[in-house]
Structure 1
Amino acid sequence: MSTDMDKHSSEVEKIPQKRMETYGVIGVCGVVGNLAARVLMDHGHHVICTDIHSSNNCPFLYTLNDYNTQIYLNEHPEAFFKSSDYIIPPPSLKKTSKLFHRIEDSSAQLMEVEDLLKQITPNKPVICITGTNGKTTTTTLLKHFCYNAGLKPTEHGFMTLQGNIEYIPPLQCRLAGDIAVVETGTEGNTGDLKFIMDRCHPSCGVITNINPDHLNNGHDFMHYSLIKGELLEELKGKTVVVNGDDPTIMALISKMDYQGKLVTFGVEHEVQGESKKECWCGEEVILHETVSGVGYYECQCGLKRTIPDYLATNIRGNSFILQTHDKKIEMEMGITGLHNVYNALGAIAVGHELLKMPLEDIKKYLITFKGVPGRLEYIYESENLDLIVDYGHNPSGVETVLRELHKTYDKLAVVITISSESGKTGDTDIIMRAMSNADFIIPASYYSRLASEKYISSEKIITPSVEPEKFREGTLGATREQVIEGFKKGLECDADAVVCMGEAAVKYKEDIKIWINSRDNLIDLQD
């Protein structure tokens, strides 16, 4: 005997079920295609992927291991076009190319990455972190706080890629997660940050510092500062956390008439040196530095350093007293250096102000953070000698790291593998700052060797036996061979520590370790 329920079920079964639409992503071996595919799948869409590269030339294929998707490699087969309802090509694909015409001739609907970003918007808080130095550590530390507090930050998952420009941050903040903490960089062009901000829809931003270290394309420092100011434009009426010890940031906030919640951080510490920075009034601000580019300042136009909202006092090694408007609490870090106190303060301010994490909880999280690989990373330690690699690749970053290391070591050797983004001026500045903060300088890259020629008579400059050949690949300043040769020369110096600096130092750190751990070399080091 049939019931009313049986009749209802029978009627439901007769209703045709809508087929799930298929999104075809071209260029899955590229960063943008890879992220676009994962964003779609994280939001419940059926995705198939294709790329002309083989699996051996698809460096980020591992990011798709946990996804159920059909991937066509080595070609763009007809089955891909026939199965796709929408096709998303990489933004770099030319409209005149044969592949683009093939998309147009298919029955699928063309969907640009821009269309995808409009269709799927961030459904979580988005925090964008920018600055000349410290943004990677601040970003990673804040994500560490989130993980410990039970929040899952979105991760782009590219192990060998910084991923802070163009479409990467906007796509990353659309991946699965409870919160997006994204590092946002620029290539020194007007609109770089605006492009990212317009697509990320941030609820909060952080500016770690602004130093004249990434200047290119003939731009001056004030122009570069305005590019960083594009973050302020997007965040009017929202929350911005900034380094209050940086006169450039504070002057920019005043110039742009920022309207929103402003939270500042800074330190109370002895002065390490003196420098000058341009002010928007046209004069130069005398800066009594705590670390490179920030400190105590006062300009005749009225710009003056005030007590920050989050202030670190009584800094002793890895510990400090955090002072806010209503509380004092002792903090201890699992990483070292005054520059990392600044990085910690930026993360603490966001965690407490925006995410409402109790300072007592942040205190527990902070001490368990052991740093970012490639940032003051010790690759060998012994009683008489420590070997370190560091990603520092601009004048302020190099100076800050060397200042901190010289507090620990009596004699310090630095291997420079950098070719500055700012060209000859930056290369020379790096050598000059190394001369002021290290006992021995080994210019391992072609451009650092070129910049060191005017100082070649100095006893501090130790040149490798073989002059490095001309090399630069993007921001990579030295080859594997140049790094190893420079490192060997550093070990000949009468130093307590050798630090190898630059993107190449970090890229080839495993090669350095292999060389160190070969039996004969290890015995020599121990002797």
Structure 2
Amino acid sequence: MLKKMSTDMDKHSSQMEKIPFTEMETFGVIGICGVVGNLVARVLMDHGQRVMGTDIHSAKNCPFLYTLKDYNSQIYLNEHPEIFFNSSTYIIPPPSLPKTSNLFQKIKDSPAQLLDVEKLLQQIHPNKPVICVTGTNGKTTTTTLLKHFCYSAGLKPTEHGFRTLQGNIDYIPPLQCRLKGDIAVVETGTEGNTGDLKFILDRCYPSCGVITNINPDHLNNGHDFRHYSLIKGELLEKLRGETVVVNGDDPAIWGLISHINYQGKVITFGVDHEVQGESKKECWCGEEITLKETLSGVGYYHCQCGLKRPTPDYLATAIQGNSFLLQTSQEKIKMEMGITGLHNVYNALGAIAVAHEILKIPLEEIKNYLPTFKGVPGRLEYIHQDENRDLIVDYGHNPSGVETVLRELNKTYNKIAVVITISSESGKSGDNEIMERTLANADFIIPASYYSRLAAESYISSGKIILTTEEPEKFREGTLGATEEQVVRGLEKGLECDADALICIGEAAVKYKEKIKIFIDSQK
């Protein structure tokens, strides 16, 4: 099933000038406790090279040391000893090491040859099919489900192996796809800047791509929605002539394909489902499209410029709970998922389309694999249930993601309390929109993060806002909008609400879910 894709990879590989390393050389990797250094070391060892690693951190402060336990390498912690510099044929420093630093000068003065990460990526090719998944929402679930299909079909996908790290930006996907495995299915994200995705894709050599959706996010740099869409469109620019699998229910994606005049095979997926409401989304012609939403940001549309929803190649109909009827041009087949929610029907459709079209896995086999996938930790994850309420955490961190999660929960529960731990990457406008969409879909709202508290001030009169005893101190690290203490304070207030479901939403909620469990146990 991978023969055609392997041929394509050989075509890409032949265009690169590579200098083979010899077996007797030793590669010294500085910063083995960091993400990039850790991956560089494993990539080299997976390709049969001898590696020495070093880091100034102790084993206690080396968070990913467990990923190296099955490798045979010499690792020096707490220091960079002289034997490391004298015994290395090449030394690879972390990309972040300043060239003016004493350590960089020491590398230059050593008998070893300096080798940067960029040069290493040129010398070691992925040498396997690479599928890149991007989008505003659903990337992680789609990627993980597709890898589940691979494992079930007897293929080994590459895994970066970091338990607490999403790993979808900068050098992580390019290095991940060079690890040992039959295929690379990598999640590719952005920080909202032009070139973010291109940086990753230029180094991954993808043979197929997936775009889950494009909703407003990362708009705090003075950029508009079309600019953000073009960043996601960097995947299409890279894959010209190849195959892309896209959400045809999203006018931003379908319009983007027309806007850049994509030359390649496009496979669409979508649903036939009841309309949840109406919203507006900007078309590439400059007008606003009225979108009859099946899910936040996607649905049925037809712009006056002629842009309209295509008939999906992979269409889900008769959606009931975790089951749906899949229709393609060739067959109809009943599918049962091990996860619930309309958003997961979309995620499943994207993964199914790639597995069937690219990996050539028969739909009857996919039908058997799908129910055994039980979801991704931190995505609608139930961490406590009793006779009073269910306690859930979810990673949702942008307006459409939050709205999607709450809409799904409203189908099951009578009253919902929401602890918001988010700091929107779109700044004030994003925080306000998250608050507005939460107000429309929840009964009680506890703003646990500093920025959600600011957004809540305009809506105190709604009667839905419940404030913690102490005002949250200012804190922000990307979407990690709340500290551990702020999450627990918000949870404490949430437990006082007369609700049958309490959801803590945001990156901080997921990061501190073990602390949440400890707090819940202490209340028994």
Q: Fold-level match, TM-score > 0.5? A: yes
Q: Which amino acid aligns with 2:410?
A: H
Higher mean displacement: 98-107 or 342-351 = 98-107
Contact 2:423 2:478 in 1 (8 A): no
Residue among 291, 299, 302 paired with 2:303: 299
Contact 1:127 1:205 in 2 (8 A): yes
Deviation, structure 1 residue 213: 2.1
Contact 1:132 1:214 in 2 (8 A): no
Contact 2:23 2:49 in 1 (8 A): no
Q: Distance in 2 between matches of 1:411 and 1:318?
A: 22
Where does residue 261 of structure 1 map in the other structure?
265
Residue among 317, 322, 326 paired with 2:326: 322
Where does residue 426 of structure 1 map in the other structure?
430
Where does residue 17 of structure 2 map in the other structure?
none
Q: Distance in 2 between matches of 1:118 and 1:288?
A: 46
Q: Which amino acid aligns with 2:364?
A: E
Q: Distance in 1 between matches of 2:23 and 2:476?
A: 51
Q: Which amino acid aligns with 2:429?
A: T
Deviation, structure 1 residue 19: 6.5
Where does residue 235 of structure 1 map in the other structure?
239
Q: Which amino acid aligns with 1:94?
A: P
Deviation, structure 1 residue 247: 0.0
**TM-score, normalised via structure 2 length:** 0.95
Higher mean displacement: 467-476 or 312-321 = 467-476
Q: Secondary structure at the match of 2:462?
A: coil
Q: Distance in 2 between matches of 1:161 and 1:54?
A: 20
Where does residue 193 of structure 1 map in the other structure?
197
Residues 406-445 of structure 1: pairs in structure 2 closer than 5 A: 406-445=410-449
- Post-superposition, which runs of at least 4 consecutive aligned residues in structure 1 deviate over 4 A? none
Where does residue 491 of structure 1 map in the other structure?
495
Deviation, structure 1 residue 384: 3.5
1:405 aligns with 2:409: yes
Q: Distance in 1 between matches of 2:59 and 2:498?
A: 47
What is the percentage of aligned positions where both structures have the same residue?
Answer: 80
Contact 1:125 1:179 in 2 (8 A): yes
Deviation, structure 1 residue 481: 1.1
Q: Is there any run of 5+ residues in structure 2 with no aligned partner, and where?
A: 1-21
Q: Is there any run of 5+ residues in structure 1 with no aligned partner, and where?
A: 1-17, 523-527
Q: Secondary structure at the match of 2:233?
A: helix
1:208 aligns with 2:234: no
Name the larger-Rg structure. Answer: 1
Q: Distance in 2 between matches of 1:414 and 1:277?
A: 27
Residues 90-489 of structure 1: pairs in structure 2 closer than 5 A: 90-489=94-493
Q: Distance in 1 between matches of 2:397 and 2:51?
A: 39
Q: Distance in 2 between matches of 1:316 and 1:322?
A: 12
Q: Which amino acid aligns with 1:328?
A: K
Q: Which amino acid aligns with 1:125?
A: P
Q: Distance in 2 between matches of 1:75 and 1:240?
A: 47
Q: Distance in 2 between matches of 1:19 and 1:181?
A: 29
Deviation, structure 1 residue 472: 1.3
Q: Distance in 2 between matches of 1:273 and 1:219?
A: 27
Q: Which amino acid aligns with 1:425?
A: S
Q: Secondary structure at the match of 2:256?
A: helix
Q: Secondary structure at the match of 2:475?
A: coil
1:516 aligns with 2:524: no
Q: Which amino acid aligns with 2:493?
A: K
Deviation, structure 1 residue 464: 1.3
Deviation, structure 1 residue 488: 1.2
Q: Distance in 2 between matches of 1:503 and 1:400?
A: 16
Q: Distance in 2 between matches of 1:198 and 1:466?
A: 48
C-alpha deviations, 1:334-391, integer Å up to 9, x for none? 0010000000000000000000001011111110000000000001112331110000
Where does residue 12 of structure 1 map in the other structure?
none
Paired residues in the alignment total 503
**TM-score, normalised via structure 1 length:** 0.95
Deviation, structure 1 residue 183: 0.2
Contact 2:402 2:438 in 1 (8 A): yes
Contact 2:479 2:506 in 1 (8 A): no
Deviation, structure 1 residue 151: 0.5
